[in-house]
Each structure stands twice: as C-alpha cells, then as structure tokens.
Amino acid sequence: MHFIYKKLKYDFQSIESKWEAYWKKNKTFQVFNDSKKPKYYVLDMFPYPSGAGLHVGHPLGYIASDIVARYKRHCGYNVLHPQGFDSFGLPAEQYAIQTGQHPAKTTKQNIQRYKEQLNRLGFSFDWSREVQTSSPDYYQWTQWIFLLLFEHYYDLKENKAKPIESLIRQFNTNGNQTIHAVCDEDTPLFSNQQWQSFSWKKQQQILLKYRLTYLSDTDVNWCPDLGTVLANDEVIDGVSERGGYPVFRKKMSQWSMRITAYAKRLLEDLDLIDWPDPVKEMQRNWIGQSQGVKIEFQLLNHKESIKVYTTRPDTIFGATFMTLAPELDIVKQITTAEYKQTVETYIEQSSQKRILDRLVNAKKISGTFTGSYVLHPLTNEKLPIWISDYVLAEYGTGAVMGVPAGDQRDHAFATHFELPIVAIFEGIDSSKEAFTQKEGFTYKNSGLLNGLSFKEGYARIIKHLVSDGIGKQETNYKIKDAVFARQRYWGEPIPIYHKEGIPVPINPKYLPLILPSVEKYLPTPQGAPPLGNANQWAWDTEQNRVVENHMIDLKKVFPLELNTMPGWAGSSWYFNRYTDANNSKEFASQKALAYWKEVDLYIGGVEHATGHLLYSRFWQKFLADLGLVPFQEYAKKLINQGMILGSSAFVYRQKDSQIYVSKNLLDPNKTYHPIRVEVDLVSSSDALNIEKLKEWQPQFKEGRFILEGGKYIVGREVEKMSKSKFNVVNPDQICVEYGADTLRMYEMFLGPIDQAKPWNTAGISGVHNFLKRFIRLFSQDGNWIVTERPASSLELKVLHQTIKKVTNDIERYSFNTCVSSFMIACNKLIELDCHSKDILKPLTILLSPFAPHLAEEMWEKLGNQQSIAYEPYPIHSEAYLKELTKAYPISFNGKKRFTKTIELNLSKDEIERLILSDNRLEKYLNGKSIKKIIVVPNKIVNIVI
RNA sequence: GCUCGGGUGGUGGAAUUGGUAGACACGUUGGACUUAAAAUCCAAUGACUAUUGCAGUCGUGCGGGUUCAAGUCCCGCCCCGAGUACCA
C-alpha cells in the first residue's frame, strides 16, 4: 500500500497555548472534598524553587504523576494532584547575603517562573491548593506541630506519644522510677517528694530530657564555612552536602527531635508500605537495629562499673582489654595521675579532628592507656582500659570490650599496642586476624562455653549473664536524634522564648510567630544566628506578642529563640495540608483528611531516602498517635524517578598552545586539556559551531581548530546536569522546537521511570513524528477525514490490544512501553488506512494522559464540547480478544509442556482466522498456506509455510 | 568491606508466568519525491557464512547446571552503578 502524504501541519505552539489557557480559565483540574466519586491522591515531592529554573531532568517525575492523575480521572476517580513549593532554604539566603535582597522577594520571583514552566508542560495540578512552606499561613502549622512535639513525650508502655502533663502527674505521685518512657541517658532518678522539692528550673530541665523536641548539649556536625550545624544526612563523606565544606564534631546547645523514640516503629512499619526496596533498605540501614547485650564490668579500685554493649557476648572469654570513647566523662575520673598528660592530649587531638580525617584515617590506629583496669566479670582477670577514637561515644554505651580473636578492629588495636590475644575458637588461628563468622567452630578457653557451637554458646552465655545480673539484653539503634535547628535566617522561627535559660513555648493561639526582618543576613558579630540582628525579637508574655529587644526585662519580656527550623520541617507534613490547604482554623480538617486518606502514589527522588522520607514518616506517626491524622503511614506507594543526566561536550586543547583538535584526531602521544563547552553550541551529530563558540567565551577567539571531515567533533561525557558543566538542556527550548506533548512523551519514552539516563535531544524526533502521524489518522492533505463507517475487525483488534497493553503498563508504571504501544498502534492503523471514529475516539482518550494538549484539540475537532479530561476511560473487551485468540482452537493432551509439530493443510479462511488469533502471523497473509505449526499449550510457537 | 540494583545490536531500550531474543525509537545505508536542500514516504539494518534464490552457524558479561525449551531458574566467577561505612 503506497500513500503519498503531503506535509500536515502540527501546529503544537498554538494548540498548546490554547489548551493551557483553557484549563486555567475553566479551572478544569480543581477538585473538591465532597465528591461521591472514589478518591485518588497522587503526589509529587514539591520542588525547591531555585533561581536557575527547571531543567529537562526536573519534570520527569511530574510527567509520570500527571499521566497517572489524568488516567485515574478518566477511570472515574476524584483525583487530588496538588503542587507547591518547599520555599525555605539556603540558596535564597545566600543570594540575600550577597545582594541584600530579601529572600522572600527572590523566592516569589522563582516560584512565579517555576509555575510558568510547569504550566507550559500541561500538568493538571490543582493550584487552588498550592502550599508554600515559607508562607506564614503554612508555617504557623509547622510551628504548631513543633509545639505539639515539645508538649509530648514517648510512653514505652502504650508505645505512643503522650502529653507531658501526664508525665508531670506521674512525677508528682510516684517520681520517675517506675516510668517507662524514652529519655536522655543521663536522666537522674527521683521520688515524688524530690520532684516536688525541685525548683521550677530544675523541673523544666528534667522535662526537657523527655520532650520529643528538646534543647540539649549535644555533639553536632558543625560546618564553620556555612556557619551552621547540619543533620547527619546533610553530611556526605565528612563534608557538607551543600558546598562540600569541612565538618567538625562540636558540642553545642541544640534543638533536637527525639526520632529515636520511633526507631522501632519506623523500622517495623516499612513492611506496611509499597516503597522501592532500595529506599526501604537504606532506611533499615540508617535506623540500624542490632540485638545485643549490655555487660557490666567492675572497675578495679573504684566503686563504679562500666557497661559495654556487644552483639557477640559469646566471645567474652576472649576479651583482653576495654576501650572507651575519648569523649566519655568517666575517662577523666579513671585516668591515673601517671597517664593524665597523655590522655588529655589524646582527647584534645581527637576532638579537633575533622570528621573527614576520622574517616580517611580510619585504618590508622590511635589510642592511649588510662592507667586503670576493669575486672572481667566471669574470670575476674584484670583488663587494661584504653581510649581510642575508633569507639564512638554516641553508639551503644561508648565502651567496648576488646576481643581480638573475634573482631577485626579489636585485633588491629591489640596488635598495634601489643595487647594479648586469646584464642577462643577451636582449630582457628587468631594470631594473624580475627575470625568473625558465626559458624564453623566450637569454643575453647571459654569456661562454660567450651565445646559448644555458636548457636548453643550464644544462647548459653546470654542466659548466664542475665541470670547473674551481669548483663542485660538490649536492642540498639544506629539512628540518632535529629538536630532540629539551623543558624540561618530563611527558615521557620522556632516559637520559643527563653526564661532563666529554660525554653518556654509560646501559646499556639498566638501563632504564627512571623519571621522578623533583619538588615544583615549574616551571623551577628558575637556569633549569634542571623535572627540576632533583628531589633524586634523579644516576647512580651503579658501582651503575647513580639516586641522590641530593648524591652527585655527578664520578668515579662524575654528573648526569643534565634535558631530557625531546618529545611526538612516544612516538608515533613505538607502532604496532609494539601487535603485542606486553605483552612485557616486547623492544619487540615478531620473531614478532609478522612476523605483523602493517605497518598496513593508518591513520586520523587531517591536522594531523600534517609532525609525527608524518614522524617516525614516520623512526624506522621506522631500526628497519628495524637489522633490528628488517620494513618500511621502517609504514602502507600512510592516511586523514585531516576535522574536525567546531561551529556557534557568537550573540546581538546593541545598543551601550551591555542590548538584545538577534533576528537578522532587526538594523538595519543600528546597531552590535551579537555575543556567543557556549552552543549547548545554542538549539533546532534557532535559537530561544534566554532563561530558561536568564539562569541561564547573570549578564550577561544585566538584558537586554531583542527577539523575532521570539515567539522570539529566534540568529546562527550555523561554527568549530572548542572549549570557549571554547561550541559543543561532547557525544557522551554524543547517546547519551542517540538512542543510540550513531545517533551512529555519523549521523557517517558527514554526508559524506565526509575532509571538514571542521559538526555539525548537527537532521539526526540521519533516521538515528534509519532504525534504528527497521529494527526494523520484524522486528516489527509490537510482535510479532516474522520469517517462514520464502522471499524473492521482488524482495526478493532488493534484498538483493543492497545487499550489492554497501555492500561496494564500504566498500572505497573511502565510508561516507556506505553509510548511504544501507541506508536505501534498508530503505524498499524495508518497501514490499514483507518479513519474510523469508532477507533479514533477511544484512542484519543487513551493518548490524553500522555499528550494532553493534542488530545484536547482532536477531541474538540471530533465535535465534543467538554474537556477530554473527565471522559470515561475506554474499556477493552477481554471477550473480544479472547474470541480472536480462540479463532483457531488447538487442543493438547497431558500436563507437561512440550513441543509438537502438526502438519496442517489450511484453507484461506482458516488462515485468516489464525491470523486474527496471533499478531505474528500477519505477514503470512495473501494466499500462502501453512504446512506446519509448532505449538505449546495456549501458544503458537512456530509456523512453517 | 558490607547491602541493594544492573550487564541484551552502533545507541536508548522491548521481551507480565521459562515459549520465534532484539519490539518501539534513534543512528546508518539505499531508494522515491524535489532544480536543490529540508521535510515526508518506502526498503534494509545483531554478527558471521552463503547467495540467483532457498538457507545455515553463532549470539542476552564469563564458566557450569536444570529443562523438550533459559535473557528469564540454580551454582561459581568477572565487571559496572547506587547506598553505607570504625555501629562493637
């Protein structure tokens, strides 16, 4: 069949701007909370509105979620598909420091630009529910949740958060000795009389040890270059995630969130949610549960004892020394006069080490003897006490028993300092290295464990230690309480004032506590956070409002907290706010929360696995404990979209010259400097536009370019897309050249949604051509030729198969194969010369989630008045497809799968029916007869003609 | 080191439960249409052998195994990516 097609105009520019305006004007995607339809909540991780605007990688997740949202609308759901901005953050603040421009102003401009870009791509967001974390309407509720956390503690009996008043009541009646609650390690025990005798200040200090958000002297990650502390997940390889500056450990008075109280539930409830395994695994590792035993070692010549935590109590007979973390307070008490000097020097040195040094020098063994000894609890032997920074103060008890035979680090330490090594595994040589496996040995030199296997010995020793009162079984977690304060300006103010050194909450009635204006966004000369520059930053407890600093009298006017909340505060609960985003009375009404329930599909980057995705689960659990939200887990299903990488372009400059050599002419014996050049200056065949290059940067003006085949070919390298690498592809430009629909489909077509992949503009023409061909189904020579004639069975088959395939693929989030299916369908229908309305109508609905602008245009041209967005989704007839597959029934005997060759003599009619039954047979049409057919149950495998 | 992913044409990637591997697209080559180019359309395109044609051999990182049948399942390696890192 030969058709000659004239060029058909696909005027995507006017189509797309027309429908963008239409959706906005008609509020097509606004949803309400009182629908009778079933609900579906599809959420994107909201963006930080950076000054650079969107690049081509950002919308990937939004396109996927928009396809699902539109698909679910067609399926008859009331779809909540909101968007907002995580608009507090460092870049706006740094810009403010440089230019003096208020972060609120730049943030507003950036948001404006982001919205324009997002709308251009045709996302069906309900903007009436937009949230901005930096808006007081929003952050008053972030502050409100902060205060709730402050006013609650974690009860281990009921396994939930409870009001602090209930704790105070118990203190008043019984003291704290019978209380089973999460608190700081150093909380003293007291009776009810003692509690009542305490001063207000003392009582408050004790309560801080229980509150779920609290102020304490903790070791923090201090980054002097950023002038702020960082959370653990913001420190990567010992340097700051942002900027890569060195980070130090430092003791500071800091706000923290008692996320450790929820460690167990955060771990266990991972089983309830359908999240990608890597994310779950990362959270599991981050929480880091381990089962072990805390064992008490009596100090020689001291009343006190030291507890160690170990997961291998069975190796206790191999313990030949004890090592403490240098930071522990007890170190100073036990150090003998003789060793005082060396110990103090060592402590000093290790505290000044950068985190990076500690990591890099991990294998470099250091430590020093304290002069003291502990007694082995089972053998009564004298074990020397050492300190070393391989022991971490914040894990376990900060003390380990040194078992060189069973632990590699202990072995290295013992070898380095010539401490004894006791072999405890029968038949295993412990002198060279430790044996860390948990099978394949029996014990020796191990008292009551001798001759037992690991399994027997492990159980035996625990039983013994516990019954003798020496040890206690314990579950330990790696996860640490999250530092919840930044020394920055552009964040939520913490609604706390300070009285006698005690933090006191502001009554939530008087929220929001509005961020004050300052003249300088830098820390004060005294080193206080930027809020220290504010003139109006004191709390009047009688008028309950912010007043000027000079009114502070420490009687009724007190200084306000100067720290602000970290970046993850606002994002830890925003998904709840969308259900009722304009509510000024509550963070969200119970009715709205009950209607929308949890997020059905959440799409965002995997980089938030141990940050936002963990903190938000924690807050959700806390809010659920208080009965404020109806679900323990807020997102049923999570998908991580992979990053779209840039393809950087390089020119090669010969060393010490102005000669640039084309990629394939490089001489392996010479040295070249690869220099990144702007990818816009390079054609899709990697040829460089030298004229434009010379205009772009003056350093190339004098360059001599050695060409191959008349062209300069650049080198390529796949890297993260970033402005500094000159490899950013701007979606606006793609929209101008190909249109938003093409961009949407192409991003989906690139590959599986969760995979990282390099951007390649060259391939986009394939998808663009598909859309042009799609229009061709409706027209010929520019004329509309949709017909009313009923569809043929072959056409119907194409349609039903496509519906089935596309629907299945959307349901399993395989969007790339969807796009392929559309192309196949389109090609087949063109070949069949199909212009039937019966086929094109459902096909247009099917395409609408992917290419919404074009679908709307075609839908209107088909004579429909309403937007296509709420058209019922076409249903494929399983019966019809089955009917077709059964067109030529083949039966078998036996259960086992087998291959069988059948000799056939089929008539033309039979062949046609056979062809209907199986796609692959189409090419055998036109009179050829089928001789043999190889079959397995329910499937034709091979045909011999 | 440990944990989790993943290795399929020149390229991006298909292949729901084991059932004609390489769909779909890019790129490349040839052709049609054009004064020409672009655009569009048609054809070929895993490798090798053979050719007038039919066809044959090898092919999913490597080596084994299970099966009538393996990209897919099992065992042992190699390589790449991500996360994590003195966690006792």
Q: Write the pLDDT tens digit of every residue in A228-257.
A: 887 777 777 777 777 778 887 777 888 999
Q: What is the mean pLDDT of residues A545-559?
A: 96
Q: Are A121 and A59 in contact (CB under 8 A)?
A: yes
Look at residues A289, A321, A299, A298 and name the one whose alpha carbon lies nearest to residue A468. Answer: A298
Find all residues with CB under 8 Å of A579, minimum gap 6, and list them: A33, A80, A588, A592, A593, A595, A596
Task: Report pLDDT for A907.
Answer: 52
Q: What is the mean pLDDT of residues A144-155?
A: 98
Report d(CA A315, CA A307) in Å as an integer.
16
- Dihedral in degrees, nearest 10, Cα atoms A716, A717, A722, A726: -20
Q: Is the pLDDT of residue A9 over 80?
A: no
Sign of the Cα torsion A688, A693, A697, A703 reads positive
Q: From its phi and psi, is residue A418 left (phi > 0), alpha (psi between -120 and 50) or beta? A: left
Please state whether strand B lies within 7 Å of residue A400 at its CB atom.
Answer: yes
Report d(CA A700, CA A63) in Å as an integer.
39
Identify the band that residue A717 occupies on the pLDDT scale cut at 50, 70 and 90: confident
Sheet strands (E) in A588-637 = 601-604
Query: Does a cis peptide bond (omega within 30 degrees of 0) precede residue A842?
Result: no
In the three-class reduction of DSSP (H, G, I as helix; E, B as strand; rest coil), residue A278 is classed as: helix
Q: What is the mean pLDDT of residues A620-633?
A: 97
Q: What is the mean pLDDT of residues A423-429?
A: 87
- Give the number of C-alpha atoms closer than 13 A to the C-alpha of residue A594, restricted to the C-beta side: 6
Report d(CA A498, CA A477) in Å as an integer.
32
Find all residues with CB under 8 Å of A109, minimum gap 6, and list them: none
How many percent of chain A have pLDDT more than 90?
60
Distance of CA A52 to the CA centre of its chain: 22
Q: Is the pLDDT of residue A429 over 90?
A: no
Task: Report pLDDT for A882.
Answer: 58
Task: Report pLDDT for A785.
Answer: 87
Show the CA angle centred on residue A498, arms to residues A496 and A500, nearest 5°: 150
The residues facing A783 across adjacent strands are A780
Q: Are A770 and A795 in contact (CB under 8 A)?
A: no
- Dihedral in degrees, nearest 10, Cα atoms A544, A546, A551, A552: 80
Does A941 or A830 have the greater pLDDT score?
A: A830
Q: Which residues 759-818 on A are within 7 A of strand B at the CB atom?
A: 760, 762-763, 765-767, 769-770, 772-773, 805, 808-809, 812, 814, 816-817
Whose structure tokens read 């069988």?
A900
Report d(CA A385, CA A402) in Å as an integer.
10
Look at residues A281, A448, A429 and name the one whose alpha carbon lies nearest to residue A378. Answer: A448
Task: Report pLDDT for A886.
Answer: 43
Chain B: positions less than 7 Å from a protein CB are: 3-5, 11-16, 19-20, 23-28, 39-42, 68-69, 81-88
Q: How does pLDDT run across A826-868, given as a tens digit for each residue?
A: 988 988 888 999 999 999 999 999 999 999 999 999 999 999 9
Report d(CA A892, CA A812) in Å as an integer.
33
Of A64-73, A220-229, A458-467, A547-556, which range is least confident?
A220-229
Mutual orientation of helices A90-99 and A103-120 as an angle, nearest 10°? 130
Identify the band that residue A104 occupies on the pLDDT scale cut at 50, 70 and 90: very high
Does A443 or A363 have the greater pLDDT score?
A: A443
Q: Which residues 7-26 on A are within 7 A of strand B at the CB atom?
A: 7
Please state whether strand B lies within 7 Å of residue A232 at its CB atom.
Answer: yes
Find all residues with CB under 8 Å of A22, minimum gap 6, and list them: A28, A856, A867
Sign of the Cα torsion A758, A759, A761, A766 reads positive
Task: Report pLDDT for A224.
Answer: 81
Report d(CA A266, CA A592) in Å as an integer.
25
